[in-house]
Amino acid sequence: MSQELIDAITDMREDDALEITDALLESGADPLAVLDDCRQAMEIIGQRFEEGDCFVPELILAGEMLKEISAKVKPLIQEQTGSTEKLGKIVFGTVEGDIHDIAKDIVAFMLDINGFEVYDLGVDVPAATFVAKVQETGATIVGLSGFLTLAYDPMKETVAALKAADLTDVKVMIGGGQIDDQIRVYTGADAYGRDAMTAVSLAKQWSGAA
């Protein structure tokens, strides 16, 4: 474990983090250990986000650093030591009629690094596409994102479509700038979240990993 690398990432020192990664890899460090440092750093950043010490710019920059470090490390990993066990499968997307992706991407990213298999369907996703993806993957959780108040009805329709397809065991979480408990009730979703870490804790709770 390299505390130096973890600190560089959590302190948002991007150049240092990349240099330390290069130095570690040159000195023959285990590439998987480097990735594990990244995971630990992301965990700390997630905690800070939850506690209000870290904000959207930090999540975006951390995501960038993770991407850059992964690009350096991945070619050095000879064989995938059997991909790590996932906590659960989540179908995720911005509902029909809404093309906003920034918040959705952050939540999908946080779910991914917290051990979930995320099927990100992108933006402007029709209800039927969510249903089909759940049926195909056997996902037990669906995440619906929407920035505008016009997302309310498509969210409601998506929840109804899941029920109509007999996917009654699937839990649905919704989120976005204008989402609150009143809209949770209106749409029939199981829960709503104000931020990415709420989504992570909901997903962990629902998949029995909390």
Partner 1 sequence: MFTIPENWKKLTPTEKREARFNSWMSLEIDFATPDAAQAYRQRIQMIKDVTDLKQPERVPVIPWFGVYPAEYGGITVQEAMYDYDKLGAAFKKFNADFLPDGLASAALMGPGKVFDMLDYKIYNWPGHGTPPDTSYQCVEGEYMLADEYDQLINDPSGYFMRTYLPRAFGALAPWQMLGPFTDIIELPFVGLGLIPVGIPPVQEAFKTYIEAGQAVMEWISAVGPIDGASIATLGLPNIIGSFTKAPFDIIGDTMRGTRAIMLDMYRRPGKLIEAMERIVPIAIEMGVRYATVSDTPMVFIPLHKGADGFMSNKDFEKFYWPTFKAVLLGLIDNGTVPYLFVEGGYNQRLDIITDPDIPAGSTIWLFDHTDMREAKKKLGGWACFGGNVPGSMMKAGTPQEIETYVKQLIDDVAQDGGYILANGAVMDDTNPANLHALIDTGKSYGVYK
Q: Which is nearer to partner 1, 117 or 153 (CB)?
A: 153
Separation between Cα atoms, residue 184 and residue 189, nearest integer Å = 5
Residues found in the chain = 210
Does 120 engage in binding with partner 1 (CB under 8 A)? no
Segment contacting partner 1 by CB under 8 A, of 66-74, 83-91, 127-135, 142-150: 142-150
Nearest approach in angstroms of CB 66 to partner 1 is 13
Kindly report the backbone phi and psi dihedral angles of residue 168, in degrees, each rounded to the nearest multiple of 5, phi listed first.
-75, -15
Q: Which is nearer to partner 1, 16 or 117 (CB)?
A: 16
Does 100 engage in binding with partner 1 (CB under 8 A)? yes
Q: Rounded to an integer, what is the distance from CA 162 to the centroid of its chain? A: 21
Nearest approach in angstroms of CB 153 to partner 1 is 7
Q: Which of 43, 50, 101, 117 binds partner 1 (CB under 8 A)?
A: 101
Nearest approach in angstroms of CB 16 to partner 1 is 12
What single letter denotes the amino acid at residue 190?
D
What single letter denotes the amino acid at residue 42?
M
Yes or no: say if 180 and 136 are a contact pair by the CB < 8 Å rule.
Answer: no
Does 121 engage in binding with partner 1 (CB under 8 A)? no
Q: Which is nearer to partner 1, 69 or 134 (CB)?
A: 69
Site string for partner 1, 30-69 (x = CB under 8 A): -----------------------xxxxx--xx--x-----
Q: Which of 109, 116, 130, 152 binds partner 1 (CB under 8 A)?
A: 152
Q: Which of 51, 67, 53, 46 is nearest to 200 (CA)?
A: 46
Total residues contacting partner 1 by CB under 8 A comes to 32
Q: Concatenate the DSSP letters of all residues of 12-60 into one string.
A: T-HHHHHHHHHHHHHTT--HHHHHHHHHHHHHHHHHHHHHTS--HHHHH
What single letter denotes the amino acid at residue 32?
L
Nearest approach in angstroms of CB 76 to partner 1 is 26
Which residues make Cβ contacts (< 8 Å) with residue 145, sequence separation at least 6?
A: 92, 93, 94, 95, 98, 100, 103, 104, 107, 151, 174, 175, 176
Positions in the binding site for partner 1 (CB under 8 A): 12, 14, 53-57, 60-61, 64, 96-102, 124, 148-150, 152-153, 177-180, 182-183, 185-186, 195
